[in-house]
Amino acid sequence: MTDKPELTELVESIRDETPARAAGRLAELGPDEVQFVLSRLSHEQAVRVASHLEEGAAGDAGGDAVISGDEETVSELMTEPPAVVPADNTVAEALAYLVKHVDLADIHYLVATQDGRLTGVVGMRDLLLASPSAVLSDITAPDPFAFRTDTPVREAVTDALYYHYQVYPVVDANERVVGIVQGWKLYERIASEIGAQAGAQYGVSRDEAIQTPIWPAFRMRHPWLQLNLLTAFLAAFVVGSFEDTIAQVVALAAFLPVLAGQSGNTGCQALAITLRGMTLGQLRDYPVVGLLRKEILLGGLNGALVGVPAGIAMYAYAAATGAQSPFLLGVVILLAMIGACITSGVFGVVVPLTLQRLGADPATASSIFLTTFTDVIGMGLMLFLATLLIL
């Protein structure tokens, strides 16, 4: 098998080549090596190169080697298991099989089976140190972890973060071994998920890259901007509902963007932490209620510390411009800032979890919905308090 440094050099050398020429250079590699190279190219270039492989340049290996980032189940990532041996074989028989039939450079674990069903895995170190007459079933790790063919890739990524294995057996519904998944493929997916979140939060497709032509990029982005416009109308409607309040206390208008900016940033911080926790599987061990409690406390603390100078600034501005009730206006800003930061933190947790519950990508356009909620609640709260306390 080609060394990883050599594959990395190959990746760099084919970035500027035509898809057909790049496919020709990959045709002599094995499926895992082709997959390694394609996973390090941009999505669009990898697809173009893979299309030439699938047309025959590398036979079936090319088609199996494509990592598109769109795989839904483990079965789409798995390859043929290189070393499957009956569990009743002796260590000597297993070693003889490996020497004769398998490239040892590809082996991390020996998969032991009984009637084709997974019974355990044996590390190469344990195999080499065991007595030649020992039976594999006596040295296999009990209760081996394995993916099923229909295991969602997202779930597999989360499991990989817990187990950190180099190779994972894959079994069918009858527990029969049908393949393996290399651990690096799942970590590639983790890196891809986290890297794509920054854009996905603002409606940028995971498939878009800097090389994406203008028209496809436009079609990917524009629908989310239309959605953002519709949600912005909702915030405008809320502000418009307090038109009389703004007309009588003009100083409030100057602090609307201040409140929106602070609450929006608070919500984005909570959103980033929540998305990261979902991607890395951290919410499996950390209750959502605990996360909400944490964001409520953080929102209250941050809102108070930001609200005090904002309230003082409002008081000074209102006094300088001759607005009515400068002190009460400062109190309104303080209370509104606390309330807006608390609710934005809550929405930073609730929005992605709700999208996931509805079957949608939790990262996609989360900030669009989050911004709407924080603007509506924050500005609505400030104008409501001003109406209640001053007018």
Q: Are 220 and 362 in contact (CB under 8 A)?
A: no
| pLDDT given at position 198 | 55
| pLDDT given at position 52 | 67
| pLDDT given at position 138 | 87
**Cα(313)–Cα(385) distance, integer angstroms:** 18
pTM recorded for the entire structure? 0.58
338 vs 23: which has the higher pLDDT: 338
- List domains and CATH numbers for the chain: 4-68 (no CATH), 84-184 (3.10.580.10), 201-389 (1.10.357.20)
| pLDDT given at position 293 | 94
* Residue 351: CB atoms within 10 Å: 24
Smallest CA-to-CA distance from 352 within 368, 376, 338, 374 is with: 368
Question: What are the phi and psi torsion angles at 305 (to 5°)?
Answer: -70, -30
| pLDDT given at position 1 | 45
Element (H, E) at 85: strand 84-86
Q: Are 6 and 13 in contact (CB under 8 A)?
A: no
Q: Are 387 and 250 in contact (CB under 8 A)?
A: no
**What separation in angstroms does the CA of 109 have from each of 33, 81, 211, 230, 318?**
19, 10, 40, 55, 72
**DSSP state at residue 281:** T
**Cα(137)–Cα(114) distance, integer angstroms:** 9
Q: Please list, in sequence order, all residues whose beta carbon lies within 8 angstroms of the beta carbon of residue 317, skipping any fewer than 6 positions away.
A: 251, 254, 255, 323
Across all residues in the chain, what is the average pLDDT? 80
**Is the pLDDT score of 60 beyond 60?**
no
Q: Are 186 and 157 in contact (CB under 8 A)?
A: yes
Rg of the chain over all Cα atoms, to the nearest angstrom: 29
Question: What are the phi and psi torsion angles at 17 (to 5°)?
Answer: -90, 160
**Cα(338)–Cα(305) distance, integer angstroms:** 9
The tens digit of pLDDT for each residue in 297-335 reads 999 999 999 999 999 999 999 999 888 889 999 999 999
| pLDDT given at position 62 | 37
**Token representation of residue 131:** 């007595």
Q: Are 90 and 134 in contact (CB under 8 A)?
A: yes
The tens digit of pLDDT for each residue in 84-110 reads 889 899 989 988 888 776 566 667 788
**DSSP state at residue 55:** I
| pLDDT given at position 189 | 67
**Is the pLDDT score of 157 beyond 90?**
no
The tens digit of pLDDT for each residue in 335-366 reads 999 999 999 999 999 988 988 888 777 776 67
**Cα(60)–Cα(209) distance, integer angstroms:** 28
